[in-house]
Structure 1
């Protein structure tokens, strides 16, 4: 028999943050590492194109702030969702406390990223 009043789940919220974080980490983070961590030090780009003043101007802009927040927060939500479900798969049934701990840590890191951007 079908339950006419099913219990609402909060899983779509966590799965959407998991998916957004995984997508960001798989598509944007490698390009960022390639450009800033490999190509810039190798001198592929002119050193004058990426100095402190220009980097600070980008980070202080609205788009740059969103980029920094997304680069920190989205992969954190992805990782904490993985930790939460990984603990369950490894038979560490922490229940609601484990869920709250994982997602609270991701939320704290998101708030800290937003605070960091606003302090720039």
Structure 2
């Protein structure tokens, strides 16, 4: 999906992700995947002028999520603060994924996440 991230459109993206995961038979990871994607898209909105490409790809028992944007600054997990209203998003991404990394590219960066998938439902 090529996106221009606006806060009011994130719900639409979450529904599209849920629908796709349902088609693949992975409803049980929908909430976690949607939260990870929401946090990554919030970063795109805040730091990358809102333009990005979102890719989802299941393979070998894992869900691969990639968000590509045009800014070459990698996100980082900041020290936790009880008083800060910002900076918790990448903590969520870190806790909900098996692995994440930012890869600087010739056009910006790719934030890549990997999540374990349950066995697919019978008939899928």
TM-score range, shorter chain: under 0.3
Which is higher, the Rg of structure 1 or of structure 2? 1
Q: TM-score, normalised by structure 1?
A: 0.28
In proportion to residue count, which structure has more strand?
2
Which one has more relative contact order, counting CA pairs under 8 Å at least 6 apart? Answer: 1
Q: TM-score, normalised by structure 2?
A: 0.27
